[in-house]
Amino acid sequence: MIEKIKSHIAAVEAFSSTNAEEIENFRIKYLGSKGLLKEFFAAFKEVPVEQKKEFGKTVNALKNTAESKVNSLKEALESQEEAKGVYGDLSRPGEPISLGSRHPISIVKNKITDIFARIGFNVSEGPEIEDDWHNFTALNLPEYHPARDMQDTFFVEKDPDVLLRTHTSSVQVRYMENNEPPIRTISPGRVFRNEAISARSHCFFHQIEGLYVDKGVSFADLKQTLQYFTTEMFGKSKIRLRPSYFPFTEPSAEIDVYWGLETETDYKITKGTGWLEIGGCGMVDPNVLENCKIDSNEYSGFAFGVGIDRIAMLLHQIPDIRMLSENDVRFLEQFKSSF
Ligand code: DAH
């Protein structure tokens, strides 16, 4: 009898299955209410006294082995089913990974920085949360200067002023404070203005600032650089510098590109004039150089600021500036580019 039970223990140990029904039948065979173990326990009273101890031990061993076998097989089965639930059919073909595309703002920004890199301009960046000094005061816009109202400002904190920069000109100041001339740098970034949101304007947008400071930099250098830029960027070399006012440059000008009047779109975007305004520029005001500890008797420079969103809208015929920040995949997917 004891030998028979031992052979059952061996059989239980050898048993394996991943089939739920087979495992259940196995359980019933050994552990069920009419199962083998029940029989063996019932037979206990007939076992001769001297064998009772070993018999009892062996039956218990069979019981423990059977129970742990059933438990481990059931566990294995459950975790297999769980995995199926998570991963599905592991043998089916993979899903294609859809390709991303660059944001139109990044495409234009990269194109501009690339054009200027070719003539020796590096890229610099500054913080979006600025202090009064870098956004206004150092740029020749002291407190109570009326030109501060040209740009509606979001204040983070008052006194001392902490604000969201209203233009990337703040990076000019930071760059001049930390670098010696000759300086040739391009500063792209996001800027903020407290303006009503519409199809044409947003409370945040992007600019690129350019700065060149060296001995003997002249207005002719500025014009030549801008002409090079518009030719590379738009394929248009005819530009016009319209006298204007910015506190940080003297003289100052608006940059217009001659777009032409060949198509209906040309007519629409230039309001029938053929000219398109793309930004502001000028010779860096000596006060700004001095504020940044650069000797204005020795050095001169030019600066310019261009709106990236406007250019992106122009080049890709985007009718509403809000599309640039809504991140609708159907919109973004249209911009595949090597930049
Ligand atoms: N900061 C000006 C703006 O936000 C743009 C600008 C004009 C930048 C003239 C310049 C500049 O560097 O020289 O409207």
Contact by Cβ (8 Å): 225, 212: yes
CA of 243 to the centre of ligand 1 (A): 13
State the Cα–Cα distance between residues 273 and 271, nearest whole angstrom.
6
305 lines ligand 1 (CB under 6 A): yes
State the Cα–Cα distance between residues 260 and 230, nearest whole angstrom.
14
Of all protein residues, whose CA lies closest to atom 2 belonging to ligand 1? 305
Rounded to 10 deg, the angle between the 20-31 and 36-43 helix axes is: 10
Q: How confident is the model at residue 270 (pLDDT cuts 50, 70, 90)?
A: confident
Ligand 1, atom nearest to 168 Cα: 1
Q: What percent of the chain has pLDDT over 90?
A: 57
116 lines ligand 1 (CB under 6 A): no
192 lines ligand 1 (CB under 6 A): no
Q: CA nearest 279: which of 240, 305, 243?
A: 305
CA of 91 to the centre of ligand 1 (A): 59
282 lines ligand 1 (CB under 6 A): yes
CA of 194 to the centre of ligand 1 (A): 17
What pLDDT is recorded for position 117?
Answer: 97
* Bridge partners of residue 307, in order along the sequence: 207
CA of 25 to the centre of ligand 1 (A): 83
What pLDDT is recorded for position 280?
Answer: 97
Q: How confident is the model at residue 339 (pLDDT cuts 50, 70, 90)?
A: low
Q: CA nearest 179: which of 203, 151, 210, 213?
A: 213
Contact by Cβ (8 Å): 106, 167: no
What pLDDT is recorded for position 257?
Answer: 94
Q: What percent of the chain has pLDDT over 70?
A: 98
* Bridge partners of residue 122, in order along the sequence: 185
**Does 338 have pLDDT greater than 70?**
no
Query: What Rg do the C-alpha atoms of the chain give, in angstroms?
Result: 39
What pLDDT is recorded for position 86?
Answer: 67
Q: What is the mean pLDDT of the chain?
A: 91
What pLDDT is recorded for position 4?
Answer: 86
CA of 237 to the centre of ligand 1 (A): 21
Here the tokens at position 235 are 């394929």
What are the pLDDT digits (tens) for 178-214?
Answer: 999 999 999 999 999 999 999 989 999 999 999 999 9
What pLDDT is recorded for position 62?
Answer: 87
Contact by Cβ (8 Å): 335, 116: no
Of all protein residues, whose CA lies closest to atom 4 belonging to ligand 1? 167
